[in-house]
Structure 1
Amino acid sequence: MSAAAWPPLRDELRGVEPYGAPQLDVPVQLNVNENPYGPSEACVADIAAAAAAAATTLNRYPDREFTALRTELAAYLSRDAGERGIAPAQVWAANGSNEVMLQLLQAFGGPGRTAVSFAPTYSMYPEYARDTSTRWVAGRRADDFALDLDAARDLVKTEQPSVILLPSPNNPTGTALPPEAVGVLCEAAGDEGIVVVDEAYGEFRRGGVPSALELLPSYRNLVVTRTMSKAFAGAGLRLGYLAAAPEICDAIRVVRLPYHLSAVTQAVALAALRHAPELLGKVDDLRRERDALVGWLRAEGYDVADSDANFCLFGRFADRHAVWQGLVDRGVLIRETGPEGWLRVSVGTPDEMAAFRAALSDVNGVRA
């Protein structure tokens, strides 16, 4: 092996840049879809007490099955799941929805198997496929970023994927899937594939937009994932979870690392769930701020994708990087992602959104 080949990395990983959004010290950070409202003092105190209690047991391994946490997550998800609700045996959790997705690909993907999504889609999906040696196929969405259901069904029939990844609301566009799309693709995948509906931004969906959780009783190959990073204001907690048939949860046990959720993580997540009404209390405010932002951007002449998330994709720019840099120069950080010519901005506080609007207007005034 030549010196130039050191270290002996897998060939398909050579020259690949690690995933990550820019982390810049600017006053207004609207690039990674965080909830801008932190927990109250009472919530912080409860979390601190829970972590302190867990610390007294750190000489022992945590509950490998995180039984109490699964029970509380099931109760929370049951609010969106219809009459039958969600049982603890249908719930799995891991270190962020990223690890949940990776475990799904480890269990159901792999060499000789295929994963499918529809671009533009979450940029980590092909990395999960790469890391598990799963073949990756990306179909295309329609011009308005909705799913072309006939084309999607044809692609599934042709490729026969083991895993179909469907973010709803979609990242980076914010587009939600209609329930019939989920049903059609579950039927197209059959028993040979699982359909993963990634609802990381599900709590932000507009009124009347149902959750795919309601469809779980009808399709045993359906998986619905959520996270505490967004609406729960728990990005630093790193807790993602899913609801699915118990058999799918059992399959994930085969690939999970031993004791993958620490005692501290379990305790802090349980404390956060005790404060769910408070932590979710700003969701309606963020929805209103999002809708106002969409209206303002369209009034300013931008194309804006319909959004059921806590962010907006807008464009179109001949040189989007120049606009992004102009905003950074004015103390506002958004995300240069999605289709060429588009930018994505997270929804922040009213003051943060005012700063974004002023900066964008200034950038365009300078460039006009």
Structure 2
Amino acid sequence: MLYGHGDNGYRLGGDIIADFSTNVWHGGEPAGLKEHLFSQWRQINRYPEVAGESLAVKAARHHGLTSENILVTNGATESIYLIAQAYAARRSGIVIPSFSEYEDACRMHGHKVDLIEWDHLAVPGKQELLWLGNPNNPTGAVFSQMEHLLGNHPDTLFIIDEAFIEFTRTITSAISLLHHYPNLAILRSLTKTFSIPGLRLGYIAASREIINKLQSLKMPWSVNAMALVAGHFIFDHYASIGIPLDRLLQDKESFVRQLRQDHLTVLDSHTHFFVCETSSGTARALQQYLLDECRILIRDAGNFRGLSERHFRLATLAPHQNQLLITALEKWQRKCA
């Protein structure tokens, strides 16, 4: 799906004062990254590494793996399409609601797609691949029985998207399971936590065999020089540039309490983002109202499989911005009453 994601205010018109539609960390890039990028500006005068090899070494060291277990990609989205291509015409289960690119990539490459409800997560029939966001986008739900699934279904390749793993305290990464389970590929993103989605940077962690299969299909230079510079900076400073997760989750809990006090339905979430349901009109109408009247952007979640036209996704911002939305939603409810 080319369009239909969050952070699309440029298509909707008008200046935005609070963007709740993207679940990227709202605090901006790590201190020192901007200056470092400018200091390395001459990197753009040369071609980048063909496959981001040196960054793969650094990511592998961070996770206790070897560089043969890592493939650096142009964001998690390239990872998704590479895997769908490498296993073309297979049978894929997709746990919904979920990021639409799993299904789009699978259908593009001729997969037979089974949609599996999150609340009934299982591996039906002769499933060859299973796609799962953990934590899940858009709901912020988590699945904690990964090793059980891997062990009971050795012939199924599990693609676990951990783009938002650093926004929860409930679960930890499944990367350590790679030492024991070859039927596992983990997608990681460096853009959400470190607030650099415009640079497009991520990686796949998997067995040597899977990485070699994907590498054979990957186009050269898919990750640009500045993204690679940012990746090196992140891994060189990882311990000191993490997001203030405890504070962010506290802000989220306060935000959710206020929304529920205003009689808005908010689904439970283990991350800083979550899904709501409006009882007044549709999410699309609400999105347009907030944009026109308040210059606030939310994510209409009506195009997620398993959700309805009344659902929308919010990400927690700074408390004063959260309050702007609460006030605006109260006005919307009065307008629709």
- 1:106 counterpart = 2:70: no
- 1:365, distance to aligned residue in structure 2 (A): 2.4
Determine which of 242, 247, 268 is the counterpart of 2:230. Answer: 268
Partner of 1:139: 116
CA deviations on 1:293-341 (whole Å, 9 max, x unpaired) are 2222233333322222231111243522332222222221101114112
Partner of 1:365: 334
Structure 1 residues 319 and 257 mapped into 2: Cα distance closer, same or farther (>3 Å)? same
Distance 1:65 1:116 in 2: 29
Partner of 2:148: 184
Determine which of 85, 97, 107 is the counterpart of 1:130. Answer: 107
Q: 1:116, 1:138 within 8 Å by CA — same for their partners in 2?
A: yes
Distance 1:186 1:40 in 2: 35
Q: 2:140, 2:270 within 8 Å by CA — same for their partners in 1?
A: yes
SS of residue in 2 equivalent to 1:133: coil
Distance 1:293 1:122 in 2: 24
Distance 2:84 2:143 in 1: 22
Distance 1:362 1:355 in 2: 11
CA deviations on 1:105-164 (whole Å, 9 max, x unpaired) are 1112x13x111112211122111112222222212233xxxxx24xx13x2xx1x23321
Partner of 1:42: 32
- 1:199 counterpart = 2:162: yes
SS of residue in 2 equivalent to 1:118: strand
Partner of 2:74: 95
- 1:198, distance to aligned residue in structure 2 (A): 0.6
Distance 1:355 1:86 in 2: 45
Equivalent AA in structure 1 for residue 135 of structure 2: P
Structure 1 residues 55 and 343 mapped into 2: Cα distance closer, same or farther (>3 Å)? closer
Q: 2:18, 2:295 within 8 Å by CA — same for their partners in 1?
A: yes
Partner of 2:198: 236
- 1:354 counterpart = 2:323: yes
Greater mean deviation of Cα atoms: 42-51 or 96-105: 42-51
Partner of 2:218: 256
Equivalent AA in structure 2 for residue 130 of structure 1: R
- 1:17, distance to aligned residue in structure 2 (A): 6.9
Distance 2:328 2:165 in 1: 29
Equivalent AA in structure 1 for residue 113 of structure 2: W
Greater mean deviation of Cα atoms: 303-312 or 341-350: 303-312
SS of residue in 2 equivalent to 1:101: helix
Determine which of 223, 245, 260 is the counterpart of 1:283. Answer: 245
Determine which of 116, 122, 128 is the counterpart of 1:162. Answer: 128
Equivalent AA in structure 2 for residue 345 of structure 1: L
- 1:265, distance to aligned residue in structure 2 (A): 2.5
CA deviations on 1:206-228 (whole Å, 9 max, x unpaired) are 2x422222322221111111101
Distance 1:89 1:200 in 2: 21
Structure 1 residues 137 and 276 mapped into 2: Cα distance closer, same or farther (>3 Å)? same
- 1:188, distance to aligned residue in structure 2 (A): 4.5
- 1:63 counterpart = 2:49: yes
CA deviations on 1:218-244 (whole Å, 9 max, x unpaired) are 211111111012111111110011211
Partner of 1:336: 300
Structure 1 residues 103 and 26 mapped into 2: Cα distance closer, same or farther (>3 Å)? same
Distance 2:174 2:279 in 1: 34
Distance 1:366 1:318 in 2: 9
Report the identity percentage: 24
CA RMSD of aligned residues (A): 2.2
Q: 1:114, 1:162 within 8 Å by CA — same for their partners in 2?
A: yes
Partner of 1:4: none
SS of residue in 2 equivalent to 1:236: helix
Q: 2:264, 2:279 within 8 Å by CA — same for their partners in 1?
A: no
Structure 1 residues 318 and 114 mapped into 2: Cα distance closer, same or farther (>3 Å)? farther
Equivalent AA in structure 1 for residue 333 of structure 2: N
Q: 1:286, 1:310 within 8 Å by CA — same for their partners in 2?
A: yes
Distance 1:135 1:99 in 2: 20
- 1:362, distance to aligned residue in structure 2 (A): 1.7
- 1:20, distance to aligned residue in structure 2 (A): 4.0
Partner of 2:92: 115
> Which one has a bigger Cα radius of gyration?
1
Structure 1 residues 314 and 243 mapped into 2: Cα distance closer, same or farther (>3 Å)? same
Distance 1:300 1:87 in 2: 51
Partner of 1:325: 288
TM-score, normalization by structure 2: 0.88
Equivalent AA in structure 2 for residue 68 of structure 1: S
